[in-house]
Amino acid sequence: MEEKKKGTIMQIVKLKTELSEEELLKVAKEREPQFKAISGIVQKYYVKLGAPGEYGGVYIWDSMESLQEFKKSELAATIPKAYKVVETPSVEIVNIMFELRE
């Protein structure tokens, strides 16, 4: 059995889009296999924020190096266009101290 990877870095991205929720989910599902193929990503949560057109992604990375590699990727570069982002997203990166559940 494969050992579960530990997350050490959390990246929180908040964006505003001109897409409807249905359109956004369609794009996310189409891109899902590409995100699943990233070896350094432990988990990704797709979230709906409070205001209309505001969504986000919460990424759990196995290392800062994996996050930095992703940031240089074509997949990362195409996020604004794919999701029709209308203003600069907010990005926060934090270190995970420990998990409640393993």
Of 3.30.70.100, 2.60.40.420, 3.10.580.10, 3.90.1300.10, which CATH number belongs to 9-95?
3.30.70.100
Q: What is the pLDDT of residues 13-42, one digit of tens each?
A: 999 999 999 999 999 999 999 999 999 999
CA of 58: how far to CAs of 3, 47, 55, 86, 102, in Å?
A: 22, 8, 10, 19, 18
Q: What is the pLDDT of residues 58-89, one digit of tens each?
A: 999 999 999 999 999 999 999 999 999 999 99
Residue ranges of domains in the chain: 9-95
CB count within 10 Å of CB 15 equals 22
Q: pTM of this prediction?
A: 0.91
Residue 91 and residue 13 in contact, taking contact as beta carbons nearer than 8 Å:
yes
Assign 101 a pLDDT band (cuts: 50, 70, 90). confident
